[in-house]
Structure 1
Amino acid sequence: MSANESPKNALFTREFSQNPYPVYARLREEEPIAKLMFPDGQFGWMITRYEDAVEVLKDNRFIKDMTKIYGSTGQSIFTSNMLFSDPPDHRRLRGLVQQAFTPKLIEGMREHIQQIADKLLDAVEGREHIELIDDYAFPLPIIVISEILGVPTSDQDKFRIWSNSIIGASNSEGSSEVYQHMQEFTAYLGTWFEKVRREPGDDLISQLIAAEEAGERLSEQEIYGVVSLLIIAGHETTVNLIGNGIISLLQHPEQLHMLRDNPDLIKGAIEEMLRYNGPVEFSTSRWAGEDLEFRGHSMKRGDLVVVALDSADRDGSQFDDPDLFDITRERSRHLAFGHGIHMCLGAPLARLEGEIAVNTLLRRFPNIRLREDAGKLEWRPGMIVRGVKEIPLSL
């Protein structure tokens, strides 16, 4: 990207996917509230500065419920959840599931998550090489969320295919295959819900089914939406937190050695991994709910607004030496889990899984290294998550 070329021209290229941060730095400097065309062909606004990002994420003039703009057009089970709703529906939907994700309940899962991590690493003991995503970073959180929901962990590979397809569609990869995967996912959930109705347990889906049958609290469309969100979001953030975090450590060996020798630094290390190369690159879509002015920009009702979370978390006005990866950094008010009423309710679970996964890996295999140059790793396309497809490691 030349100095005279607009940084907007470099967005969403392969080079951008490999390292978006130089582009973000120029956008924050030259056009922090940028009007552009997104990969799916929509025109909208991208917010890249931290202060502006926080304001958008908590400003109720920017709405999440697309039906208020477009009617029911484009609505699906994947948008019938708290992530794509506004108050009072948001409060009702979130209230039904947040009881399963309180910090106290999550902390009570520590020992079990540790057992899962150890079992996964037991399975690769004695091997010279592993593929971090397939062997460890993916199965750990999908096992945990499957157990919370009560769906079979043996179906985790199906969830991965469906999740990758649905998230990939955010980058205009939509196709008949994506539609087929959505149909398969919906059919799977329908079959599972019928089983739970016959044989309820003490899992979260059983609780949601009971709430649905009690009436007025959850519609059938909403139960599909909430469960699909929990399956997808319940593992995607952690997969990429672990993957991106390990890459950052391997690219900064002094930080890796510090954490390996001082595992008590893990909480701060996880926060820095979330800030430095966060697992969720962009917020999900918001729309201007009315004609409005934001930071001197006139926005029309229905305008799409997206926050570049990973850009905000490298803003030098908020973070000292923002491009420095430092696991001893003091308290970090990063936006990796969002901000405001839509802040990720699974954040305590993702943090705990990340802490256990990273420390256990470094304890069991203290000499891990990448088997190829980090610049050759293939980053997943899409407008939401930031993560690599594969991380080949030597043990």
Structure 2
Amino acid sequence: MPEQSPTIVHDVPVNVAQQPDPYPLFERIREHGAVQRVRLNPTLEVWMVTGYDEAVSALTDPRLSSSPVAVRGLEDEMAEQERTNILMSSMVIADGDTHVRLRNLVSRAFTARRVEALAPRVQEHTDAFLDVFAGRGSADLVEEFALPLPMAVLSDLIGIPAEGQPDFAKLAVGLIMPPNTPERLAKGARARAALVEFFQPLIERRKAEPRDDLLSALCAAQAEERISDRELTAMTILLTLAGHETVASLIANGVHALLRHPEQLAALRADPELLPGAIEELLRYEGPVSRGVARFTVEDFEIAGVTIPAGEMIIVGLAAANRDPARFDRPDILDVARREVPQQLAFGHGAHFCLGAPLARMEARIAIGTLLRRFPDLTLATPDETLSRREGILRGMATLPVTFAPQRA
């Protein structure tokens, strides 16, 4: 393990998710030690974990909280956030019994059996979206495939009407922007208010006329006082956000990575049974969460020889950990046949491990597998260096123009 140098402050720019290759930056930080002080903007310095073993430890340690209320100097701001930010009532920042209660309310919807039961419907959606542009010979796989597919799946699962899907997709953009400027904070606040307004009528309809969907189940739980009105709305927004942008980025990033590595694409075409493992490798190599997830120290916390005081913020660098050479052989190489034991951390770890991971894996497996099978000559339509990534804290492609031989209907 390299010698720790926590007195060095490393700059991690707010647009790190949009950079063509942020991984050398993470490696330079890790060279000074697995836990380092980093500067996210001119006024915010936090700690960052870049080592795989240390990330696993941080994600499972009860001395770290998912709630920012413990951060020193932010007490007044956090009180205001709890009052005005609906997502402060969601399970993503809850701990202990509250987190368990909220998670249990939706966990049954994401069991392996329930997810696999959705597979035929996901295949139907996938085929339908591909049919739209199959005869054209070209497409933007972000706008025409990667973004609408998970929204259609969520519509089936949660119960979002088809006519409301475009509105939700537009509103959701405001919530994935880095909240580092007053303008973006204001945009996020407007987006949250609009999403509450978007979901409230739908929630009321499901209370009056339940259906076989997750939203109706949550409304039933609210009637039994197992979840408050505010928690119900927060849960609905959170599940839709988490299941839309992240899955869209997984699909687009995965296809982009394969097109940039034709030898790996050829290996996957030659042996389709590699696909489940290839999805794990694509998550490790270019997952949707670039900078990492936040945790907060509720007491003095020692990790990798560094003592972090109570009331501090830690960024657990999932992407950095997934490229840790101490854990992965040739970590910067994409290998769809990789057979290493370590689990990639793109979905997190521990109590807050992504609840929708089985669904995301299944969607990516069907989407990418079907795309490669139907379009054997798929290729990038523009030079790779001209492509850009979506704004926000997630790492995803803004566009992915491709060409292929047109297919007859």
TM range (shorter): over 0.9
Give me the whole-angstrom Cα distance separating, in 2, the residues matched to 1:382 and 1:63. 24
CA contact (8 A) 1:380 1:389 kept: yes
Q: Single out whichever of 344-353 and 183-192 deviates more from structure 2.
A: 183-192
Counterpart for residue 3 of structure 1: none
- Per the alignment, residue 168 of structure 2 pairs with 159
- Cα offset, 1:345, TM superposition: 0.8
Cα drift, residue 39 of structure 1? 3.9
Higher mean displacement: 123-132 or 39-48: 39-48
Question: For 2:80, what is the secondary structure of its paired residue?
Answer: coil
3-state SS of the aligned residue for 2:314?
strand
Change (3 A) 1:82 1:283: farther
Aligned partner of residue 38 in structure 1, secondary structure: strand
CA contact (8 A) 2:18 2:395 kept: no
In 2, Cα distance between equivalents of 1:196 and 1:301: 43
Match of 1:183 in 2: 193
Q: Hey, what's the Cα distance between the residues in 1 that align with 2:100 and 2:92?
A: 11
Report the 3-state secondary structure (helix = DSSP H, G, I; strand = E; otherwise coil) of the residue aligned with 1:285. strand
Q: Give SS of 2:10's match.
A: helix
- Given the alignment of the two structures, is residue 209 of structure 1 paired with residue 211 of structure 2, yes or no? no
- State the 1:22 CA deviation: 0.8
After superposition, residues 140-159 of structure 1 pair within 5 angstroms as 140-159=149-168
Tell me the residue number matched to 2:28: 26
**1:95 equivalent in alignment to 2:104:** yes
Pairwise mapping of residues 205-244 of structure 1 onto structure 2 (< 5 A)? 205-215=215-225, 217-244=226-253
Matched, 1:50 2:52: yes
Judge which range, 179-188 or 52-61, deviates more: 179-188
Kept in 2, the 8 Å contact 1:7–1:23? The answer is no
**Superposition deviation, residue 31 in structure 1:** 4.1
Deviation at 1:295, TM superposition (A): 2.5
TM-score normalised to the size of structure 1?
0.93
- Aligned residue in 2 for 1:359: 369
Higher mean C-alpha displacement, 177-186 vs 104-113 = 177-186
SS at the partner of 1:8? Answer: strand
Instruction: Give the AA of the match of 2:203.
Output: F
**TM-score, with normalisation over the residues of structure 2?**
0.90
The answer to whether the 8 A contact 2:179-2:185 is kept is no
Provide the residue aligned with 1:340 in structure 2.
350
User: Following superposition of structure 1 onto structure 2, how do residues 309-324 of structure 1 map, counting pairs within 5 Å?
Assistant: 309-324=318-333
1:65 offset after TM fit, Å?
2.3
- For residue 160 of structure 1, report the CA deviation from its aligned partner: 1.7
Query: In 2 relative to 1, CA 16–168 (structure 1 residues): closer, same or farther, beyond 3 Å?
Result: closer
Residue number in structure 2 paired with 1:261: 270
Pairing 1:73–2:89 present: no
Note if contact 1:49-1:315 (Cα within 8 Å) is conserved in structure 2: yes
Decide which of 318, 328, 339 is 1:330's aligned counterpart: 339
State the partner residue of 1:129. 138
Number of corresponding residues: 388
State the Cα distance separating 1:8 from its structure 2 match: 2.5
* Aligned-pair Cα RMSD in Å: 1.9
Q: Is residue 12–residue 40 contact of structure 2 (8 Å, CA) maintained in 1?
A: no
CA distance in 2 between counterparts of 1:35 and 1:143 reads 41
Q: Sequence identity, in percent?
A: 37
Q: Which runs of 5+ in 1 are unaligned?
A: 1-5
Q: Which runs of 5+ in 2 are unaligned?
A: 1-7, 405-409
Secondary structure of the 1:293 match is strand
Deviation string for 1:293-321 (max 9, x for gaps)?
33232322221111111110000111111
Amino acid at match of 2:376: P
Contact 1:147 1:153 in 2 (8 A): no
Counterpart-to-counterpart distance in 2, 1:241 and 1:15: 14
The amino acid that maps onto 2:106 is V
Counterpart of 2:45 in structure 1: which amino acid? F
| Secondary structure of the corresponding residue to residue 123 of structure 1 | helix
Offset at residue 51 of structure 1 (A):
1.2
Residues 337 and 40 from structure 1, CA distance in 2 versus in 1: closer, same or farther, beyond 3 angstroms?
A: farther
Deviations 1:64-108 (A, max 9, x none): 123455353312211212111001101000000000000011011
Q: Which residue number in structure 2 is paired with residue 108 of structure 1?
A: 117
Measured in 2, the distance between the counterparts of 1:288 and 1:165 equals 28
Q: Which residue of 2 aligns with 1:59?
A: 61
Displacement of 1:281 in angstroms is: 1.8
Flag the 1:47–1:81 CA change in 2: closer, same or farther, 3 A. same
